[in-house]
Structure 1
Amino acid sequence: MTRYKQTLLALVLSLFCGEVMAQNNTNSPYTRYGYGHLADQGSSNSKAMGGVAYGLRDGTQVNFANPASYTAVDSLTFIFDGAVSLQNTNFSDGTLKQNAKNSSFDYITMQFRLARWCGMSLGLIPFSNVGYSMGEYREDTENSSNSSSVIYSGEGGLHQAYVGLGFKIFKNLSVGANISYLWGDIARTSYLTFPSDANKFPYQKTLDAVWKSYKLDFGVQYTQTWGKKNALTFGAVFSPKHDLGGKTSISEAVGNSTTGATYTSRDSVATYGIPLSIGAGLAYVYDKRLTVGADFLLQEWNKVSYMNNADAFCSRMRIGIGAEYIPNLIGRSYFAHVKYRLGAYYSLPYYKIEGERAAKEFGVSAGFGLPIPRTRSVLSVTAQYAKTHGSKVTFVDENTLRLVVGVTFNERWFFKRKVD
């Protein structure tokens, strides 16, 4: 009966995640550029550990950041894993301050073993999010009737539905691959008005881009053990660069519903791409209770085209470190089985404004993996603080507090029951 209740909860979580994914998950002005904010590719334990994932091999958690990890799941286990986030962000440009609250779909995945040497995972994860609304007043001191106001707004994002396989080549060596269907759309609008001259009609321009493509991710993990309690895993991931198939349309309107408006629309030919990505990490495990890891990621966004612009982005770099500790695997106390997690990261985002890198970012995180009584499932709760610092005084600084709640349903489904 417990298993059916957990399965029902998993289905409810799936529906909830689907609803949240349709919302704007950010209010960052930086998402005005490119594909917006790039989602972290990590499960709930990874998020609490500063995003560390490439070297992690945990048979009780889906690690879709490195498909080679799928071989860690045992033959009797079916894992269903999902998470959502709640966040509060303060924005400041040195003069003005603003606050925004958002909810965010993080991921929903499942994993199981196909054979002794093969594990499989599939799921739905976000790739990027766009959501912003900002204004600008352009004053003409010589002729006030030429002063204008512009409002910029945008929404949308890209999503991934993936299926992946991990293969154990040797006892300590595994490889894997994910293939994803990548789709989404982004709409960006600029609305120009002339507050001091009623004879000048407002002007609105909207750019809509729609993508349907694929994404490939490859991974490898090698584990070296010594003694009975020590294990060190090296992990690496690779994603090739490729062009995105997409459709772009531009709509323009002069006037409004009061004065009457003239509308025009046309399709535009534009090139888009996603970059070559390389990541590597180490994870050390002591006595199956202490895990310490570090990751490095490099994405060559500076070598892809966006809206026919081959110089639209900077390269992206990310470094993360983290740890997880379990006091006692066989202790009787509930808190002896709680997973305590800490992490930190430093990142250089891919945004480029006025020909230079727009910002840098760093963050810290802490969380718990709380066992659900009388089950093998875990409730993960993580608190994150992230700061995005603009490279110029006039650029926006962002301070974000985020709460991530994840549930991992870990059940023994694949075994024969004995009936007396």
Structure 2
Amino acid sequence: MRKFTRLLTIISFTFISSNVFAQATTSSPYSAYGVGGLVPQTFAPSKGMGNIASGLRMPENINISNPASYSSFVLTNIDLGVHGGLDQLSTSSTKENNYNYSLDHFALGFPISSKMGASLGIIPFSNSGYQVGKSDVFQQIDTVAYKNELLGEGGYSQVYFGVGYEIAKNLSIGVNVGYLFGDIKRTTSTVLNDISAVNSRTTVSTSASGFLVKYGAQYTIVQSPEKRWTIGYFGSMKTKVKTTQNTVFDRYILNSAGDPIPMDTVYNNSGVKGHFVLPTMHTVGFTFNRVNKLIAGADFDYQQWSQFSQDGQVTDFKNMYGVRLGAQYTPDIYSVSSYLKRVDYRLGFNYYKSYLNLNNQNINEMDLTLGLGLPLSNQFFGGLLHTGSKLNVAIQLGTRGTTSSGLVKERYANLYLGFTLNDRWFVKRKFD
């Protein structure tokens, strides 16, 4: 186990040093707005339960959404995740399928004392990825046939460190401090219907850097040794993030394969300093836990996106509301005769009234999640059974948007894989 732990750690840090965690990917046209599409700050176990997090307190899994949960750590946890997805985009007349995949996150969680735990890692914050106008449909003005193309790519990530502490019996508080970084590039092109024509495009690249702070609390009501309720809250305040923007207007031609070949640069304005303001966010919820058998809970989100602004310009974003429901059931964690009885079975549901309102249409989102926790090994520590390692699988099936008013409806299917390893790092041994 120790050799395997060292191998996993070396692989994980190799991924980090090679920058492969810089962004997740998406094909959503709705990621063109603001800071891109927000990525839920949860890992595969929570994703399988509808992303519930505020009251989730699982010592063998890292709950980065609510840092108060870190005080429950008994062993050191390592979590490495990957993500793949299919997006189907529909208008009133056409459909298009897109496939995406990426490495998702790396995180480490560990106990500091019997009342304190900590976590650090790198996780995605938002992503942007869309192509609009790639079809062969051109508009005609006099003798000129042309089309406009919009392209977005990139995203923001954060490196974080957090601590959770039990300040009183069954009451814990915690805080995460993250550093946001990354780049989103948005390109607008005018393409002429002539292979020899000179086309033009404007590319705006916005890099961001700044600190984010998230705080949380959890209170557990012990109904009996086997049954308990945990009430949780986490949130963040309005935060200004610095940006640097580069704008390039250039001309290009297309080769026979349709790839752009730059001709000349007409305008280049680099290093323009600015900022955007992220809004206040709050989540409150609860979980019911029947130890080693059942977890069920709900979260309620409120995000004040009407506060969002970029370079002092206020947007028309709306405040965002959401509800998340989820559960996990384990038939018999101690079963020797049946592996399937030791598996965690997960189910969840999400509904969001998003901050986007386009053409007088709310861009709402709804999805169903399914998940499995597949144990790979077990160990006893402190007189209790702990999962040595586990493969967590989550599937998310959902819709976003509408085909009304000339908009796009998005149907998506996402697959999340998370490998979790628990070991005794940083735990003081009684005997050498």
Normalised by the size of structure 1, how large is the TM-score?
A: 0.91
Could you tell me whether the CA contact under 8 Å between 1:279 and 1:298 is conserved in 2? yes
Counterpart in the other structure of 1:29: 29
Counterpart in the other structure of 1:168: 166
Whole-angstrom CA distance in 2 between matches of 1:84 and 1:258: 34
Whole-angstrom CA distance in 2 between matches of 1:210 and 1:181: 13
Whole-angstrom CA distance in 2 between matches of 1:14 and 1:86: 21
Please state how far the C-alpha of 1:261 moved relative to its aligned partner: 2.8
Whole-angstrom CA distance in 1 between matches of 2:131 and 2:291: 50
Counterpart in the other structure of 1:54: 54
Q: In structure 2, give the amino acid aligned to 1:38.
A: L
List alignment gaps of at least 5 residues for structure 2.
254-259, 380-387
Counterpart in the other structure of 1:326: 330
Counterpart in the other structure of 1:149: 147
Aligned Cα RMSD in Å? Answer: 2.3
SS of the residue corresponding to residue 404 of structure 2 reads coil
Q: Equivalent residues in 2 for 1:257-336 (5 A)?
A: 260-267=263-270, 268=272, 270-332=274-336, 333-336=338-341
Counterpart in the other structure of 2:10: 11
Q: In structure 1, give the amino acid aligned to 2:76.
A: F
- Does 2:402 match 1:402? no
Query: Against the structure 1 CA distance between its residues 291 and 218, is the aligned structure 2 distance closer, same or farther, given a 3 Å change threshold?
Result: same
Could you tell me whether the CA contact under 8 Å between 1:105 and 1:126 is conserved in 2? no
Could you tell me whether the CA contact under 8 Å between 1:85 and 1:404 is conserved in 2? yes
SS of the residue corresponding to residue 112 of structure 2 reads strand
Query: Against the structure 1 CA distance between its residues 126 and 342, is the aligned structure 2 distance closer, same or farther, given a 3 Å change threshold?
Result: same
SS of the residue corresponding to residue 266 of structure 2 reads strand
Q: Pick from 330, 353, 358: which aligns with 2:358?
A: 353
The number of aligned residues is 412
Q: Pick from 213, 217, 222: which aligns with 1:220?
A: 217
Normalised by the size of structure 2, how large is the TM-score?
A: 0.89
Q: Pick from 113, 116, 127: which aligns with 1:115?
A: 113
Please state how far the C-alpha of 1:57 moved relative to its aligned partner: 0.8
Q: In structure 2, give the amino acid aligned to 1:102.
A: N
Q: In structure 1, give the amino acid aligned to 2:217.
A: V
Tell me which moved more, 253-262 or 214-223: 253-262
Q: In structure 2, give the amino acid aligned to 1:86.
A: G
Q: In structure 1, give the amino acid aligned to 2:269.
A: R
Counterpart in the other structure of 2:371: 367
Whole-angstrom CA distance in 2 between matches of 1:224 and 1:249: 53
> Whose strand fraction is larger, Structure 1's or Structure 2's?
2
Q: In structure 2, give the amino acid aligned to 1:342.
A: L
| Percent sequence identity over aligned pairs | 30
Per-residue CA deviations over 1:50-90 (Å, capped at 9, x if unaligned) read 0101101111111110000000112xx11111211111111
Q: Equivalent residues in 2 for 1:245-256 (5 A)?
A: 245-254=242-251, 256=253
Whole-angstrom CA distance in 1 between matches of 2:230 and 2:143: 66
Tell me which moved more, 153-162 or 96-105: 96-105
Per-residue CA deviations over 1:84-126 (Å, capped at 9, x if unaligned) read 1111111111211111111133321111111222111111110
Whole-angstrom CA distance in 2 between matches of 1:20 and 1:92: 31
Counterpart in the other structure of 1:183: 181
Whole-angstrom CA distance in 2 between matches of 1:259 and 1:208: 17
Please state how far the C-alpha of 1:271 moved relative to its aligned partner: 3.8
Please state how far the C-alpha of 1:342 moved relative to its aligned partner: 0.7
SS of the residue corresponding to residue 302 of structure 1 reads helix
Whole-angstrom CA distance in 2 between matches of 1:178 and 1:258: 45
Could you tell me whether the CA contact under 8 Å between 1:134 and 1:151 is conserved in 2? yes
List alignment gaps of at least 5 residues for structure 1.
none
